[in-house]
Structure 1
Amino acid sequence: MGKNRLEAFSDGVIAIIITIMVLELKVPHADTLAALRPLLPIFLNYVLSFVYLGIYWNNHHHMLHTVQHVRGGILWANLHLLFWLSLIPFVTAWMGENHFAAAPTALYGVILLMAAFAYWILQRTIIAAQGRDSLLKAAVGRDLKGKLSPLLYLAAIPAAFFEQWIADGIYVLVALLWLVPDRRIERAFKNQDN
């Protein structure tokens, strides 16, 4: 089967996730700028989660460029990733609504960790389907960022119970690591053409 339906479905789900997230930003009843102040933690967490979803969407898009044919395992691995991404609006709202309290901040890290793990499973499933000469395998290489990110999440989760700002800083750090689009796949395509 071709990959177009998988791409379209994934794009649609991520767009809906972002829409659900923005609907959690409630309009204040007052008409002053001071009325926005209580919304600041919710808005900051929305921005962070929006960036994370954008990173996943961007890297997912690049990864699927390496796929020629989709098999059942890839479909299920992709659904697994979308499941964890679909929980981001819930933890975003809970964390922002409670001003980055320990439990919501830790759960935010758990969801990010599980999404990273699900992305890794999808990546491995695609590589297994493509065989030894997988373009994705060549592009991913040692995948230092992919290995470092879950380790940072694992550090942030317990840190949330001691100093929430450390956990929040780690989440921002991981987002910054991935903010620049991953060029490894583009380079692999270029090297393949040469």
Structure 2
Amino acid sequence: MGKGRLEAFSDAVIAIIITIMVLEIKVPHGHDLAVLRPLLPIFLSYVLSFVFLGIYWNNHHHLIQAIRHVNGRILWANLHLLFWLSLIPFVTGWMGENDFARLPVALYGTVLMLTGIAYWILTQTLVEHHGKDSALAIALGKDFKGKISIFIYALAIPLAFLNSLFACGLYILVAVMWLIPDRRIEKTFIQ
């Protein structure tokens, strides 16, 4: 079957997730800058999550551009990814509302790690469907960046209980690693 519906549905879900996140930022009562101070952690957690969602949207787009067609397993693997992405507004809000407290930061990292695993599962399902010798498989290679990201999340989760800001720093490190779309796919497929 064609890939168009999968891509359109995924784009719509990610757009809704971003919309839900921004609607969770409540407008303060008052007209001076002091009323914005309590919103700073909420805004910072929103920015971090917005960047992550943008990274997933961008890389998902590149990934889907690199395939010809999908099957049922790919649809389920994609839904698995969208499930974990859909939890980002909850953990973002909890983390921001609680000033980056330890447990919310750890749960945020857990959702990021499970999202990363779901993305890896999607890529492996696509490679399996298109063949280990396909251009996609060659472009993805050993996926070191994907694996190291999951490792960093796994490291950051328990560290959140010792120092939540250090754990957030590790989350930011992963985001910085992925800010540029996956060049392996761009070099192979995007002209």
Match of 1:29 in 2: 29
Match of 2:186 in 1: 186
**Structure 2 CA distance, aligned partners of 1:41 and 1:128?**
42
Q: Deviation above 6 Å: which 4+ runs of structure 1?
A: none
Query: Quick check: 2:139–2:184 contact (8 Å CA) kept in 1?
Result: yes
Offset, 1:142:
2.1
Match of 1:77 in 2: 77
Match of 2:86 in 1: 86
**Structure 1 CA distance, aligned partners of 2:128 and 2:181?**
24
Offset, 1:67:
1.3
**Structure 1 CA distance, aligned partners of 2:150 and 2:129?**
24
Query: Quick check: 2:116–2:150 contact (8 Å CA) kept in 1?
Result: yes
Deviations 1:73-98 (A, max 9, x none): 00000000000000000000000000
Offset, 1:28:
0.3
Deviations 1:25-71 (A, max 9, x none): 10001111110000000000000000000000000000001111110
Match of 2:18 in 1: 18
CA RMSD of aligned residues (A): 1.0
Deviations 1:117-156 (A, max 9, x none): 0000000000000013222111111211111001100110
Offset, 1:176:
0.4
Match of 2:54 in 1: 54
Query: Quick check: 2:14–2:57 contact (8 Å CA) kept in 1?
Result: yes
| TM-score, length of structure 1 as denominator length | 0.96
**Structure 2 CA distance, aligned partners of 1:89 and 1:12?**
15
Offset, 1:182:
1.5
Gaps of 5+ in 1: none
1:129 and 2:135 correspond: no
Offset, 1:183:
1.4
Match of 2:4 in 1: 4
Question: AA paired with 2:87?
Answer: L
Match of 1:177 in 2: 177
Query: Quick check: 2:65–2:189 contact (8 Å CA) kept in 1?
Result: no
Offset, 1:189:
2.5
Deviations 1:161-186 (A, max 9, x none): 00111101000000000011211112
Question: AA paired with 2:84?
Answer: W
Gaps of 5+ in 2: none
**Structure 2 CA distance, aligned partners of 1:54 and 1:132?**
28
Figure out how many residues of one structure are paired with residues of the other and give that number.
Answer: 191
Match of 1:99 in 2: 99
Match of 2:152 in 1: 152
The percentage of counterpart residues that share the same residue type is 66
